[in-house]
Amino acid sequence: MSTVNFSVPEDVKQVFNETFQGKNKSAIITDLMLEAVERARSKQRSQAAYLRIVERRQYAPTVTQVQLHAAREEGRA
């Protein structure tokens, strides 16, 4: 198992220790780190998907308002 050292503000340390008194703080920090990793990876996947959508829009056919209105009316019939 590795040891990791982080500097945090004293008030954060104090409230963390109060909140998790009697708990395995190493396990809690490990879970929080894993959540942060997953959140960051999810954000990266979302950003990549957004960029793919934006890129594909360049090649999407354009539709006029008249064509859009006609398609809506056709779909309602």
Residue spans of the domains in the chain: they are 10-76
**pLDDT tens digits for range 21-56:** 999 999 999 999 999 999 999 999 999 999 999 999
Residue 77 is predicted with a pLDDT of 81
Rounded Cα gap, residues 25 and 27, in angstroms? 5
Closest by Cα among 30, 21, 40, 16 to 8 = 16
Residue 75 is predicted with a pLDDT of 92
Residue 17 neighbours by CB under 8 Å, 6+ apart: 25
The pLDDT of residue 7 is above 90: yes
Measured on CA atoms in the order 69, 72, 74, 77, is the torsion positive or negative? negative
Residue 1 is predicted with a pLDDT of 86
Residue 50 CA, chain-centre distance (Å), reads: 12
Predicted structure pTM score: 0.69
